[in-house]
Amino acid sequence: MKSERIEVTYGPPAKARFEVEMITDTAGYQQTGGSGASCWGYNQSNIVRQGEEVYALSWRDDLTLVVFRRTGAGQWEASDPLPPVPQNGNLLVDSSGRLHVIAGKHASYHVIFDPPGQVERFTIQEYATAESRFGASINAKDQIFVAGGLATMGWYVLDPENDYRPMASGSVQHEQARGYNFVVFNGSGVQAISSDDYFLRGEEYPNQTVTHRDAETGEMKTVETPRGIYPVLKAYYYYCPDVFQSPEDWRMTVISDVSDTHQGNARGTTDHQDLMLDMQGRVHLTYYENRQPVTTVWAGMGQDSGNSLLYHAVGRPGGPFTHFCVGNFNSGRLYQEPDGRIHYFLTRGRRGDAEGVWYALGEADRWDRISEPVRLEMPSRLWHFFTNTTRAGGTRAPFVDCYWTGASQQNSNEVFYGRLTPNL
Protein backbone atom coordinates (compact mmCIF):
# COMPACT_ATOMS: atom_id res chain seq x y z
CA MET A 1 0.00 0.00 0.00
CA LYS A 2 1.73 3.18 -1.20
CA SER A 3 -0.71 5.88 -0.06
CA GLU A 4 0.71 8.48 2.29
CA ARG A 5 0.38 7.77 6.00
CA ILE A 6 0.49 10.73 8.37
CA GLU A 7 1.85 10.16 11.87
CA VAL A 8 -0.53 11.54 14.48
CA THR A 9 0.88 13.69 17.26
CA TYR A 10 -0.17 13.20 20.86
CA GLY A 11 -1.42 16.05 23.02
CA PRO A 12 -2.06 16.02 26.77
CA PRO A 13 -4.01 12.95 27.97
CA ALA A 14 -7.77 13.33 28.23
CA LYS A 15 -9.48 12.87 31.56
CA ALA A 16 -12.38 10.44 31.82
CA ARG A 17 -14.20 8.20 34.28
CA PHE A 18 -14.54 4.55 33.30
CA GLU A 19 -17.07 2.46 35.22
CA VAL A 20 -17.31 -1.31 34.76
CA GLU A 21 -19.95 -3.88 35.67
CA MET A 22 -20.59 -7.48 34.68
CA ILE A 23 -23.52 -8.36 32.44
CA THR A 24 -23.22 -12.14 32.89
CA ASP A 25 -20.59 -14.73 33.81
CA THR A 26 -22.25 -17.65 32.00
CA ALA A 27 -21.97 -16.62 28.33
CA GLY A 28 -20.84 -19.34 25.95
CA TYR A 29 -20.17 -21.61 28.89
CA GLN A 30 -21.57 -24.81 27.36
CA GLN A 31 -19.64 -26.59 24.62
CA THR A 32 -22.13 -28.51 22.49
CA GLY A 33 -20.70 -28.35 18.98
CA GLY A 34 -20.99 -24.66 18.11
CA SER A 35 -18.31 -22.01 17.90
CA GLY A 36 -17.84 -21.81 21.66
CA ALA A 37 -16.85 -18.16 21.31
CA SER A 38 -18.95 -15.71 23.28
CA CYS A 39 -17.45 -12.78 21.38
CA TRP A 40 -17.02 -14.27 17.91
CA GLY A 41 -17.67 -11.73 15.15
CA TYR A 42 -15.77 -8.50 15.79
CA ASN A 43 -17.55 -6.83 12.84
CA GLN A 44 -20.98 -7.17 14.44
CA SER A 45 -22.84 -4.95 16.89
CA ASN A 46 -23.10 -6.34 20.42
CA ILE A 47 -24.29 -3.23 22.26
CA VAL A 48 -26.70 -0.46 21.33
CA ARG A 49 -28.37 2.44 23.12
CA GLN A 50 -31.74 4.03 22.29
CA GLY A 51 -32.47 6.98 24.54
CA GLU A 52 -32.39 5.74 28.12
CA GLU A 53 -32.38 2.07 27.12
CA VAL A 54 -29.21 0.07 26.57
CA TYR A 55 -29.11 -3.50 25.24
CA ALA A 56 -26.41 -6.14 24.80
CA LEU A 57 -26.26 -9.30 22.69
CA SER A 58 -24.38 -12.34 23.99
CA TRP A 59 -24.09 -16.08 23.71
CA ARG A 60 -26.07 -18.10 26.27
CA ASP A 61 -24.09 -21.19 25.37
CA ASP A 62 -22.14 -21.84 22.17
CA LEU A 63 -25.22 -22.31 19.95
CA THR A 64 -27.85 -19.81 21.12
CA LEU A 65 -27.94 -16.06 21.65
CA VAL A 66 -29.78 -13.93 24.19
CA VAL A 67 -30.43 -10.21 24.46
CA PHE A 68 -29.83 -8.35 27.73
CA ARG A 69 -31.51 -5.10 28.81
CA ARG A 70 -29.96 -2.92 31.50
CA THR A 71 -32.53 -2.26 34.22
CA GLY A 72 -30.23 -0.51 36.69
CA ALA A 73 -26.63 -0.24 37.81
CA GLY A 74 -25.22 -3.77 37.58
CA GLN A 75 -28.66 -5.22 36.78
CA TRP A 76 -29.49 -6.86 33.45
CA GLU A 77 -32.53 -8.90 32.41
CA ALA A 78 -32.20 -11.53 29.69
CA SER A 79 -34.50 -12.58 26.87
CA ASP A 80 -35.40 -16.17 26.13
CA PRO A 81 -32.80 -17.89 23.95
CA LEU A 82 -32.99 -17.19 20.22
CA PRO A 83 -32.81 -20.02 17.65
CA PRO A 84 -29.43 -21.79 17.24
CA VAL A 85 -26.78 -19.98 15.20
CA PRO A 86 -23.33 -20.83 13.77
CA GLN A 87 -21.96 -17.36 14.54
CA ASN A 88 -22.75 -14.18 16.45
CA GLY A 89 -25.57 -11.85 15.36
CA ASN A 90 -26.15 -8.13 14.88
CA LEU A 91 -28.06 -6.04 17.41
CA LEU A 92 -29.98 -3.07 15.94
CA VAL A 93 -32.56 -0.57 17.19
CA ASP A 94 -35.04 1.39 15.09
CA SER A 95 -36.33 4.96 15.45
CA SER A 96 -39.31 3.74 17.50
CA GLY A 97 -37.03 2.02 19.99
CA ARG A 98 -37.82 -1.51 18.82
CA LEU A 99 -34.92 -3.91 19.06
CA HIS A 100 -33.86 -6.11 16.11
CA VAL A 101 -31.42 -9.01 15.82
CA ILE A 102 -30.12 -10.32 12.49
CA ALA A 103 -28.72 -13.80 13.06
CA GLY A 104 -28.72 -17.40 11.85
CA LYS A 105 -26.86 -19.17 9.07
CA HIS A 106 -26.08 -16.60 6.36
CA ALA A 107 -28.15 -14.00 8.24
CA SER A 108 -31.28 -16.07 7.66
CA TYR A 109 -33.50 -14.88 10.50
CA HIS A 110 -34.68 -11.53 11.80
CA VAL A 111 -35.89 -11.07 15.38
CA ILE A 112 -38.17 -8.11 16.24
CA PHE A 113 -38.77 -7.12 19.87
CA ASP A 114 -42.12 -5.35 20.03
CA PRO A 115 -43.19 -3.27 21.90
CA PRO A 116 -40.05 -1.19 22.56
CA GLY A 117 -38.23 -1.08 25.88
CA GLN A 118 -38.36 -4.80 26.71
CA VAL A 119 -36.71 -8.15 25.87
CA GLU A 120 -39.57 -10.49 26.79
CA ARG A 121 -41.73 -10.48 23.64
CA PHE A 122 -40.39 -11.01 20.15
CA THR A 123 -41.24 -12.56 16.80
CA ILE A 124 -38.92 -14.28 14.32
CA GLN A 125 -39.08 -13.86 10.54
CA GLU A 126 -37.16 -15.71 7.84
CA TYR A 127 -37.58 -13.83 4.57
CA ALA A 128 -34.02 -13.51 3.21
CA THR A 129 -30.44 -14.80 3.34
CA ALA A 130 -27.14 -13.05 2.70
CA GLU A 131 -23.82 -14.81 3.36
CA SER A 132 -21.51 -15.84 6.19
CA ARG A 133 -19.45 -13.40 8.35
CA PHE A 134 -22.18 -10.82 7.87
CA GLY A 135 -22.73 -7.34 9.22
CA ALA A 136 -25.94 -5.30 9.42
CA SER A 137 -26.91 -1.64 9.60
CA ILE A 138 -30.17 0.32 9.89
CA ASN A 139 -30.87 3.70 8.26
CA ALA A 140 -33.07 6.63 9.31
CA LYS A 141 -36.06 5.07 7.49
CA ASP A 142 -35.61 1.90 9.59
CA GLN A 143 -34.61 -0.10 6.51
CA ILE A 144 -32.05 -2.80 7.36
CA PHE A 145 -29.09 -3.63 5.14
CA VAL A 146 -27.25 -6.94 5.65
CA ALA A 147 -24.10 -8.12 3.82
CA GLY A 148 -21.70 -11.04 4.23
CA GLY A 149 -18.87 -12.95 2.50
CA LEU A 150 -17.01 -15.20 1.48
CA ALA A 151 -16.67 -15.94 -2.27
CA THR A 152 -19.24 -13.22 -2.88
CA MET A 153 -20.56 -10.33 -0.85
CA GLY A 154 -24.21 -11.37 -0.68
CA TRP A 155 -26.59 -8.67 0.57
CA TYR A 156 -30.24 -7.78 1.08
CA VAL A 157 -32.38 -4.88 2.34
CA LEU A 158 -35.43 -5.38 4.59
CA ASP A 159 -38.35 -2.94 4.26
CA PRO A 160 -40.35 -1.89 7.37
CA GLU A 161 -43.22 -0.71 5.12
CA ASN A 162 -43.72 -4.33 4.00
CA ASP A 163 -43.40 -6.21 7.29
CA TYR A 164 -39.61 -6.26 6.87
CA ARG A 165 -39.69 -8.36 3.75
CA PRO A 166 -36.75 -7.92 1.34
CA MET A 167 -37.00 -4.95 -1.04
CA ALA A 168 -33.61 -5.37 -2.73
CA SER A 169 -30.81 -7.92 -2.88
CA GLY A 170 -27.69 -8.75 -4.83
CA SER A 171 -24.13 -10.04 -4.71
CA VAL A 172 -20.60 -8.95 -5.59
CA GLN A 173 -18.10 -11.56 -6.76
CA HIS A 174 -14.68 -11.61 -5.08
CA GLU A 175 -11.38 -12.70 -6.59
CA GLN A 176 -10.53 -14.31 -3.26
CA ALA A 177 -12.85 -15.02 -0.34
CA ARG A 178 -13.42 -12.01 1.94
CA GLY A 179 -15.40 -11.72 5.13
CA TYR A 180 -16.32 -10.07 8.42
CA ASN A 181 -18.18 -7.23 6.74
CA PHE A 182 -18.73 -3.97 8.58
CA VAL A 183 -21.54 -2.03 6.89
CA VAL A 184 -23.05 1.45 7.15
CA PHE A 185 -26.43 2.18 5.56
CA ASN A 186 -27.12 5.89 5.08
CA GLY A 187 -30.21 6.77 3.03
CA SER A 188 -29.78 4.52 -0.01
CA GLY A 189 -25.97 4.51 0.03
CA VAL A 190 -23.85 1.75 1.57
CA GLN A 191 -20.27 1.59 2.80
CA ALA A 192 -18.65 -1.77 3.62
CA ILE A 193 -15.22 -3.01 4.64
CA SER A 194 -13.79 -6.54 4.75
CA SER A 195 -10.52 -8.48 4.66
CA ASP A 196 -9.16 -11.63 3.02
CA ASP A 197 -10.71 -14.77 4.51
CA TYR A 198 -9.47 -17.86 2.69
CA PHE A 199 -7.30 -20.89 3.45
CA LEU A 200 -4.18 -21.56 1.38
CA ARG A 201 -3.18 -25.21 1.39
CA GLY A 202 0.36 -26.41 0.97
CA GLU A 203 2.80 -28.93 2.40
CA GLU A 204 5.28 -26.12 3.06
CA TYR A 205 2.88 -24.64 5.61
CA PRO A 206 2.23 -25.78 9.20
CA ASN A 207 -0.82 -27.70 10.31
CA GLN A 208 -3.20 -26.58 13.03
CA THR A 209 -4.89 -28.38 15.90
CA VAL A 210 -8.27 -27.39 17.28
CA THR A 211 -9.53 -28.64 20.65
CA HIS A 212 -13.27 -28.69 21.40
CA ARG A 213 -15.87 -30.73 23.27
CA ASP A 214 -17.50 -33.59 21.38
CA ALA A 215 -21.26 -32.94 21.22
CA GLU A 216 -22.12 -36.65 21.62
CA THR A 217 -19.65 -37.80 24.27
CA GLY A 218 -19.03 -34.54 26.12
CA GLU A 219 -15.30 -35.33 26.06
CA MET A 220 -12.64 -32.90 24.82
CA LYS A 221 -11.03 -33.94 21.55
CA THR A 222 -8.30 -32.53 19.34
CA VAL A 223 -8.69 -32.36 15.57
CA GLU A 224 -5.78 -31.79 13.20
CA THR A 225 -6.52 -29.64 10.16
CA PRO A 226 -4.90 -29.83 6.69
CA ARG A 227 -1.59 -28.05 6.26
CA GLY A 228 -1.95 -24.43 5.24
CA ILE A 229 -2.27 -20.80 6.29
CA TYR A 230 -4.78 -17.96 6.24
CA PRO A 231 -3.05 -15.22 4.24
CA VAL A 232 -4.91 -12.07 5.31
CA LEU A 233 -2.93 -9.72 3.07
CA LYS A 234 -5.45 -7.07 1.99
CA ALA A 235 -8.34 -5.06 3.42
CA TYR A 236 -11.06 -3.64 1.17
CA TYR A 237 -13.56 -0.78 1.11
CA TYR A 238 -16.80 -1.04 -0.90
CA TYR A 239 -19.21 1.74 -1.82
CA CYS A 240 -22.58 1.66 -3.56
CA PRO A 241 -24.13 5.15 -3.98
CA ASP A 242 -27.69 3.79 -4.31
CA VAL A 243 -28.55 0.13 -3.71
CA PHE A 244 -32.10 0.69 -4.95
CA GLN A 245 -31.49 2.56 -8.21
CA SER A 246 -28.08 1.03 -9.05
CA PRO A 247 -27.72 -2.25 -7.14
CA GLU A 248 -24.80 -3.37 -9.38
CA ASP A 249 -22.77 -0.18 -8.93
CA TRP A 250 -20.32 -1.37 -6.29
CA ARG A 251 -16.91 0.32 -6.25
CA MET A 252 -13.98 -1.33 -4.49
CA THR A 253 -10.81 0.26 -3.09
CA VAL A 254 -7.90 -1.64 -1.53
CA ILE A 255 -7.37 0.08 1.80
CA SER A 256 -4.40 -1.92 3.05
CA ASP A 257 -1.98 -4.26 1.26
CA VAL A 258 0.86 -6.26 2.83
CA SER A 259 1.11 -8.84 0.03
CA ASP A 260 4.74 -7.81 -0.56
CA THR A 261 5.57 -9.51 2.78
CA HIS A 262 4.43 -12.92 1.44
CA GLN A 263 7.65 -14.67 0.50
CA GLY A 264 8.06 -18.42 0.57
CA ASN A 265 6.07 -19.76 3.50
CA ALA A 266 6.06 -16.55 5.56
CA ARG A 267 4.01 -13.36 5.45
CA GLY A 268 2.73 -10.43 7.48
CA THR A 269 -0.92 -9.53 7.97
CA THR A 270 -3.53 -6.76 7.92
CA ASP A 271 -7.07 -6.55 9.25
CA HIS A 272 -9.99 -4.08 9.12
CA GLN A 273 -11.28 -3.00 12.53
CA ASP A 274 -14.10 -0.41 12.43
CA LEU A 275 -16.32 1.65 10.12
CA MET A 276 -18.19 4.85 10.97
CA LEU A 277 -20.02 7.63 9.11
CA ASP A 278 -19.65 10.90 10.99
CA MET A 279 -22.19 13.70 11.37
CA GLN A 280 -20.71 15.50 8.35
CA GLY A 281 -21.14 12.43 6.16
CA ARG A 282 -17.45 11.47 6.07
CA VAL A 283 -16.33 7.85 6.19
CA HIS A 284 -13.96 6.75 8.96
CA LEU A 285 -12.38 3.31 9.05
CA THR A 286 -9.62 1.69 11.06
CA TYR A 287 -7.27 -1.16 10.19
CA TYR A 288 -3.98 -2.50 11.44
CA GLU A 289 -0.89 -3.91 9.78
CA ASN A 290 1.88 -6.11 11.12
CA ARG A 291 4.53 -6.63 8.48
CA GLN A 292 6.61 -9.14 10.48
CA PRO A 293 6.89 -12.33 8.33
CA VAL A 294 5.83 -15.49 10.17
CA THR A 295 4.75 -19.00 9.15
CA THR A 296 2.00 -19.75 11.71
CA VAL A 297 -1.49 -20.69 10.43
CA TRP A 298 -2.75 -17.30 11.55
CA ALA A 299 0.02 -14.71 11.26
CA GLY A 300 -1.12 -12.90 14.39
CA MET A 301 -0.46 -16.03 16.47
CA GLY A 302 3.24 -15.91 15.71
CA GLN A 303 3.93 -12.20 15.40
CA ASP A 304 5.22 -9.80 18.02
CA SER A 305 2.30 -7.40 18.51
CA GLY A 306 4.89 -4.72 19.21
CA ASN A 307 5.28 -4.57 15.42
CA SER A 308 1.59 -3.75 14.83
CA LEU A 309 0.52 -0.31 13.63
CA LEU A 310 -3.05 0.97 13.66
CA TYR A 311 -4.35 3.32 10.96
CA HIS A 312 -7.34 5.67 10.82
CA ALA A 313 -8.50 6.51 7.28
CA VAL A 314 -10.90 9.40 6.57
CA GLY A 315 -12.62 10.48 3.35
CA ARG A 316 -15.86 11.20 1.55
CA PRO A 317 -18.04 8.22 0.50
CA GLY A 318 -16.22 6.47 -2.31
CA GLY A 319 -12.86 7.98 -1.30
CA PRO A 320 -10.11 9.00 -1.67
CA PHE A 321 -8.92 8.54 1.92
CA THR A 322 -6.25 10.17 4.01
CA HIS A 323 -4.51 7.68 6.30
CA PHE A 324 -3.27 8.50 9.79
CA CYS A 325 -1.01 6.22 11.86
CA VAL A 326 -2.36 6.16 15.41
CA GLY A 327 0.41 4.06 16.98
CA ASN A 328 1.30 0.57 18.17
CA PHE A 329 -2.17 -0.97 18.49
CA ASN A 330 -4.04 -3.92 16.95
CA SER A 331 -7.56 -2.54 16.97
CA GLY A 332 -9.35 0.78 17.11
CA ARG A 333 -13.02 1.52 17.75
CA LEU A 334 -14.37 5.00 17.02
CA TYR A 335 -17.22 6.94 18.61
CA GLN A 336 -18.31 10.49 17.77
CA GLU A 337 -19.91 12.46 20.55
CA PRO A 338 -22.58 15.14 19.88
CA ASP A 339 -20.02 17.99 19.73
CA GLY A 340 -18.13 16.25 16.91
CA ARG A 341 -15.09 15.01 18.81
CA ILE A 342 -13.92 11.44 18.18
CA HIS A 343 -13.27 8.95 20.97
CA TYR A 344 -10.64 6.30 20.23
CA PHE A 345 -10.67 2.93 22.01
CA LEU A 346 -7.40 1.19 21.16
CA THR A 347 -6.38 -2.37 21.99
CA ARG A 348 -2.94 -3.91 22.00
CA GLY A 349 -2.00 -7.58 21.89
CA ARG A 350 -3.00 -10.76 20.13
CA ARG A 351 -6.56 -11.15 18.87
CA GLY A 352 -8.67 -12.95 21.43
CA ASP A 353 -6.16 -12.15 24.17
CA ALA A 354 -5.67 -8.37 24.14
CA GLU A 355 -3.61 -7.07 27.03
CA GLY A 356 -5.69 -3.93 27.51
CA VAL A 357 -7.62 -0.95 26.14
CA TRP A 358 -6.28 2.59 25.76
CA TYR A 359 -8.48 5.68 25.43
CA ALA A 360 -7.76 8.87 23.47
CA LEU A 361 -9.81 11.88 22.39
CA GLY A 362 -9.58 13.64 19.04
CA GLU A 363 -10.62 17.17 18.17
CA ALA A 364 -13.48 17.72 15.71
CA ASP A 365 -12.17 17.86 12.11
CA ARG A 366 -8.56 17.32 13.26
CA TRP A 367 -7.40 13.78 12.56
CA ASP A 368 -3.62 14.30 12.82
CA ARG A 369 -3.72 15.02 16.55
CA ILE A 370 -5.22 13.05 19.43
CA SER A 371 -4.68 13.04 23.15
CA GLU A 372 -1.99 10.73 24.46
CA PRO A 373 -3.64 7.28 24.83
CA VAL A 374 -4.31 6.39 28.47
CA ARG A 375 -4.77 2.79 29.56
CA LEU A 376 -8.19 2.07 31.03
CA GLU A 377 -8.51 -0.05 34.14
CA MET A 378 -9.97 -3.36 32.96
CA PRO A 379 -10.89 -6.41 35.09
CA SER A 380 -8.86 -8.79 32.89
CA ARG A 381 -7.41 -9.38 29.46
CA LEU A 382 -10.11 -9.36 26.79
CA TRP A 383 -11.35 -10.59 23.46
CA HIS A 384 -12.96 -7.96 21.17
CA PHE A 385 -14.09 -4.51 22.29
CA PHE A 386 -17.38 -2.96 21.11
CA THR A 387 -19.11 0.41 21.51
CA ASN A 388 -22.61 1.71 20.89
CA THR A 389 -22.70 2.77 17.25
CA THR A 390 -25.01 4.84 15.06
CA ARG A 391 -24.73 2.31 12.21
CA ALA A 392 -26.77 -0.01 14.47
CA GLY A 393 -29.31 2.74 15.17
CA GLY A 394 -27.67 3.72 18.46
CA THR A 395 -28.35 7.22 19.73
CA ARG A 396 -25.51 9.49 20.82
CA ALA A 397 -25.00 10.26 24.48
CA PRO A 398 -22.51 12.38 26.48
CA PHE A 399 -20.85 9.11 27.50
CA VAL A 400 -19.82 5.98 25.63
CA ASP A 401 -21.40 2.55 26.20
CA CYS A 402 -18.83 -0.26 25.87
CA TYR A 403 -18.92 -4.07 25.81
CA TRP A 404 -16.34 -6.87 25.85
CA THR A 405 -15.72 -10.38 27.13
CA GLY A 406 -12.78 -11.98 28.82
CA ALA A 407 -9.97 -13.51 26.77
CA SER A 408 -10.40 -16.52 24.49
CA GLN A 409 -10.36 -19.87 26.33
CA GLN A 410 -9.84 -18.07 29.63
CA ASN A 411 -12.75 -16.08 31.10
CA SER A 412 -14.61 -15.47 27.83
CA ASN A 413 -17.84 -16.56 29.53
CA GLU A 414 -17.70 -13.24 31.44
CA VAL A 415 -19.36 -10.33 29.61
CA PHE A 416 -18.72 -6.77 30.76
CA TYR A 417 -20.37 -3.38 30.33
CA GLY A 418 -18.31 -0.24 30.59
CA ARG A 419 -19.36 3.41 30.59
CA LEU A 420 -16.78 6.06 29.77
CA THR A 421 -17.66 9.62 30.71
CA PRO A 422 -15.13 12.13 29.34
CA ASN A 423 -13.78 15.48 30.52
CA LEU A 424 -14.07 15.06 34.26
Return the pLDDT at 213. Answer: 65
Give tens-digit pLDDT for 56-96: 999 988 789 999 999 999 999 999 999 988 889 999 999 99
Return the pLDDT at 34. Answer: 58
Percent share of the chain, pLDDT over 70: 96
Return the pLDDT at 9. Answer: 98
Q: 73 — phi, psi (to 5°)?
A: -60, 115
> Parallel, antiparallel, or unpaired: how do β-strands 5-7 and 321-327 relate?
parallel
Helix (H, G, I), strand (E, B) or coil at 87: coil
Give tens-digit pLDDT for 113-122: 999 999 999 9
Give tens-digit pLDDT for 87-134: 899 999 999 999 999 999 999 999 999 999 999 999 999 999 999 999
Region 373-394: mean pLDDT is: 96
CATH number at residue 268: 2.130.10.10
Return the pLDDT at 219. Answer: 76
Give tens-digit pLDDT for 307-365: 999 999 999 999 999 999 999 999 999 999 988 999 999 999 988 899 999 999 999 89
- Confirm if 84 and 77 have CB atoms less than 8 A apart: no
- Beta-carbon contacts of residue 42 (< 8 Å; ≥ 6 apart): 180, 273, 331, 384
Domain range for 402: 5-422
- Confirm if 115 and 123 have CB atoms less than 8 A apart: no
- Give Cα separations from 149 to 179, 184, 225, 356, 389 (angstroms): 5, 16, 22, 30, 22
Return the pLDDT at 39. Answer: 66
pLDDT of 306 above 90 = yes
Give tens-digit pLDDT for 136-168: 999 999 999 999 999 999 999 999 999 999 999
Return the pLDDT at 1. Answer: 44
| Number of structural domains in the chain | 1
Give tens-digit pLDDT for 212-233: 666 677 677 888 888 999 999 9
* CA–CA separation, 173 and 283 (whole Å): 23
* CA–CA separation, 22 and 413 (whole Å): 11
- pTM here is 0.95
pLDDT of 277 above 70 = yes
- Confirm if 396 and 390 have CB atoms less than 8 A apart: yes
For residue 348, how far is the Cα from the chain centroid? 16
> Parallel, antiparallel, or unpaired: how do β-strands 47-50 and 16-24 relate?
unpaired
Q: What is the mean pLDDT of the chain?
A: 93
Region 233-257: mean pLDDT is: 98
* Confidence band of 31 (pLDDT split at 50, 70, 90): low
In the 8-state DSSP scheme, what is residue 328?
S
Note if the bond before 116 is cis, omega within 30 degrees: no
